[in-house]
Amino acid sequence: MDKELIGLIVKSKKGRDIGKYYIIERVIDPFHVALIDGQKFDFKRQKRKNRKHLCIITKAEEEIIQGIMNQEERCLKNIIRRLALEAKEV
């Protein structure tokens, strides 16, 4: 079940980052996930957030999900582009 969460594009509902978009990088425990945005938060430093404070928007493309699982640095550009596109749509 937790593997299915990796690669989901989410929007923050609570906290000082309200309205910001992230991609789930990994599940920490049943209540928390590690998020990345490709800029401030990447594979070296993730944002820890309670799952109930997130709104699931959609799933990222398979190419991005594979990049996240392999922790490819070149994938970060695609993540930044994808999150910017998602933010414009809303």
Give the strand pairing for 32-36 and 54-59: unpaired
Q: How far apart are CA 80 and CA 34, in angstroms?
A: 16
Read off the pTM: 0.92
The 10s digit of each residue's pLDDT in 34-52 is: 999 999 999 999 999 999 9
Amino acid letter at 67? G
Q: pLDDT-derived band of residue 90, with 50, 70 and 90 as boundaries?
A: low
Q: How far apart are CA 51 and CA 12, in angstroms?
A: 9
- Residue % of the chain over a pLDDT of 70: 98
